[in-house]
């Protein structure tokens, strides 16, 4: 799995920096990716990143401000004109269905694949669940309804104790797979091998928190609790905390405090105000690192690897 930052600017594009979007590549056997937010020009960024729209499985929108959604109508239409036939599910705050349906009606656009829109309201909760991942949404603190997302991978089966299996005379093959799945196995001689005796504890899955625009709040900390990676807006430098609060945003130091309080492993800062140029990013990064050392300032097309956790 890996996360690619497609846009790291707040409000409007800047030179070398597009507005908000990020793509989470699913495990290779799945062969798809999820998109988080879709600012204007996101489909151009996807082309540059080598990500194919037909592989897009889900879109999660944090809120309906333009720099997070204005790329949606074009992207959805392009996916149709390219002949993509696989279903697509869009998750977002209440109002996103009305806005998209109105846009399609007024412009005469058509989508020829199955598009399911699931609106999120109130306290959010689990918005998606499958055999590999659970996605939970919770409301943040912004000027309009805005959500953050916590993506949790299910634990993987523990490690087989090969030495013990050999000692017990368990032949390699289907019985190994059965025990690995947590199922007890019966040997040809009638002995029952309990999976709990030969399989180690489950290996925790990866956790990613992708937060929308927000001032510091408890919900952000809860979503980021123990995460391997937290993506948090840092619209302003630490000295501009009053301005950040006025506009419903966070500073570098505030984002870092959220990651620290959540006991996260890594923090990726994004959504930088247009007042900052690329040469300012090391300074913004340094501000965050004073609070949370594992902080980094994102740049467009930065890709962060999310390796499996180690077996214990």
Among 29, 100, 93, 21, smallest CA distance to 63 is for: 93
Binding-site residues from annotation: 63, 65, 67-68, 142, 213, 271
Name the catalytic one among 37, 67, 228, 300.
67
Give the sheet arrangement for strand 88-93, strand by strand: 115-120, 88-93, 56-60, 33-36, 21-25, 2-7, 303-305
Name the token pair of 33.
Answer: 């990716």
Binding-site residues from annotation for Zn(2+): 63, 65, 67-68, 142, 213, 271
User: How far separated are the first and last CA of the chain, in Å rounded?
Assistant: 21
Residues 238, 253 contacting (CB under 8 angstroms) = yes
Residues 90, 135 contacting (CB under 8 angstroms) = no
DSSP 251-309: BHHHHHHHHHHTT-S-EEEE-B-TT--GGGHHHHHHHHHHH-SSEEE--TT-EEE-PPP
Name the token pair of 270.
Answer: 């994004």
184 is known as an active-site residue:
no
Name the token pair of 122.
Answer: 């109130």
Helix boundaries (H) for the chain: 42-49, 66-69, 72-81, 96-107, 162-168, 174-180, 195-198, 218-224, 241-246, 252-261, 281-291
Residues with a catalytic annotation lie at 67
């Amino acid at each position: 799995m890996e996360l690619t930052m497609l846009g790291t600017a707040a409000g409007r594009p800047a030179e070398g920096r597009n507005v908000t979007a990020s793509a989470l590549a699913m495990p290779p056997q799945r062969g798809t990716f999820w998109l988080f937010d879709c600012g204007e020009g996101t489909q151009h960024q996807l082309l540059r990143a080598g990500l194919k729209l037909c592989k897009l499985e889900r879109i999660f929108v944090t809120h309906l401000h333009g720099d997070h959604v204005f790329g949606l109508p074009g992207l959805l239409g392009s996916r149709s004109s390219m002949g993509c036939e696989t279903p697509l599910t869009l998750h977002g705050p209440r109002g996103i269905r009305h806005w998209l349906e109105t846009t399609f009606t007024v412009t005469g656009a058509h989508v020829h694949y199955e598009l399911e829109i699931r609106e999120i309201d109130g306290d959010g909760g689990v918005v998606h669940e499958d055999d590999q991942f659970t996605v939970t949404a919770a409301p943040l603190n912004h000027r309009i309804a805005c959500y953050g997302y916590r993506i949790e991978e299910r634990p993987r089966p523990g490690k087989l104790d090969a030495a013990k299996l050999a000692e017990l005379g368990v032949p390699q093959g289907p019985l190994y797979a059965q025990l690995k799945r947590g199922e007890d196995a019966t040997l040809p001689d009638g002995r029952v091998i309990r999976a709990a005796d030969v399989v180690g504890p489950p290996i925790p899955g990866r956790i990613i928190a992708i937060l929308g625009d927000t001032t510091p709040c408890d919900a952000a900390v809860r979503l980021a609790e123990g995460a391997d990676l937290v993506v948090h807006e840092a619209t302003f430098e630490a000295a501009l905390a009053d301005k950040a609060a006025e506009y419903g945003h966070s500073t570098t130091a505030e984002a870092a405090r959220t990651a620290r309080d959540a006991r996260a492993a890594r923090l990726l800062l994004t959504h930088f105000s247009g007042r900052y140029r690329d040469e300012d990013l090391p300074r913004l990064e340094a501000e965050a690192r004073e609070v949370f050392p594992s902080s980094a300032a994102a740049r467009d097309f930065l890709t962060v690897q999310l390796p499996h956790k180690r077996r214990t």
